[in-house]
């Protein structure tokens, strides 16, 4: 999928990301929509074919926020290693 289509899809799903962020805010205040997007894009959606919007919304709402936080930490550590 090209970058323009991905950006449109991301924007289309923004409401679901906002709901998930509000649901997770008490325990995981640092999570942003782009973090959930990247986690699901790499760890879930890249393995699935022909996903519907409703399946993607369900994935966003049901994703384990602690796994997203672990993903953020791992990604940031990998960036630090590359910069060293």
In 10 A of CB 71, how many CB atoms? 19
Structure tokens at 32: 């942003």
Range of weakest confidence among 13-22, 24-33, 59-68: 24-33
In the predicted model, what is the mean pLDDT of residues 18-23?
96
Average pLDDT of the residues of the chain? 92
- Dihedral sign, Cα of residue 66, residue 70, residue 75, residue 76: positive
Q: How many domains does the chain have?
A: 1
Domain that holds residue 21: 3-83
Check whether 46 has a pLDDT greater than 70. yes
Structure tokens at 62: 């049901």
Picking from 22, 25, 39, the residue whose alpha carbon sits closest to that of residue 74 is 39
d(C-alpha 75, C-alpha 73), whole Å: 5
What's this model's pTM, rounded to 2 decimal places?
A: 0.88
Check whether 30 has a pLDDT greater than 80. yes
Structure tokens at 57: 């919304």
């Amino acid at each position: 999928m090209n970058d323009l289509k991905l950006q449109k899809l991301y924007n289309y799903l923004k409401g679901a990301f906002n709901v998930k962020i509000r649901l997770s805010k008490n325990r995981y205040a640092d999570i942003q929509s782009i973090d959930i997007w990247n986690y699901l894009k790499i760890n879930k959606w890249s393995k699935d074919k022909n996903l519907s919007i409703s399946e993607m919304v369900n994935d966003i709402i049901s994703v384990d926020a602690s796994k997203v936080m672990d993903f953020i930490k791992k990604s940031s550590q990998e960036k630090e290693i590359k910069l060293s």
